[in-house]
A = this chain, B = another copy of it.
């Protein structure tokens, strides 16, 4: 794999981005730069980072994906509202060690994991 210009720019932009972000967020951020990175390159690079375990997908049930870094953050999970799609975060209590051996025995190379609780958030419950 070459350390090409486009790839380098995308990587840099993503590393500068904190919290959750979508693919389009990165596309826009790259447009701001003089670097000129196309949408296709952003999606390609994002896929590479996904495969490398540098970013992970965090949202369900929406049209577009949300990503976040896997590094430099305390491991946490998400509880998502099935109405408004908003979410709250909560800390990990370490299930990894219980499941990982089971999966690796089946030839699955684990890059990471996430718990996803779904339900109705406080705000939507009030709305009725």
Contacts and interface: CB of A to CB of B under 8 A. Distances in A.
Given A50-B61, A88-B108, A107-B125, A56 B118 contact: yes
A99 B117 contact: yes
A16 to B, nearest CB: 22
Contact of A57 (B60, B77, B107): B60
27 contacts: A50-B61, A50-B82, A56-B118, A57-B118, A60-B65, A77-B99, A79-B108, A81-B108, A82-B111, A88-B106, A90-B103, A93-B99, A95-B115, A99-B115, A103-B119, A107-B122, A108-B119, A108-B121, A108-B122, A109-B121, A110-B117, A110-B119, A111-B119, A111-B120, A114-B115, A114-B118, A116-B116
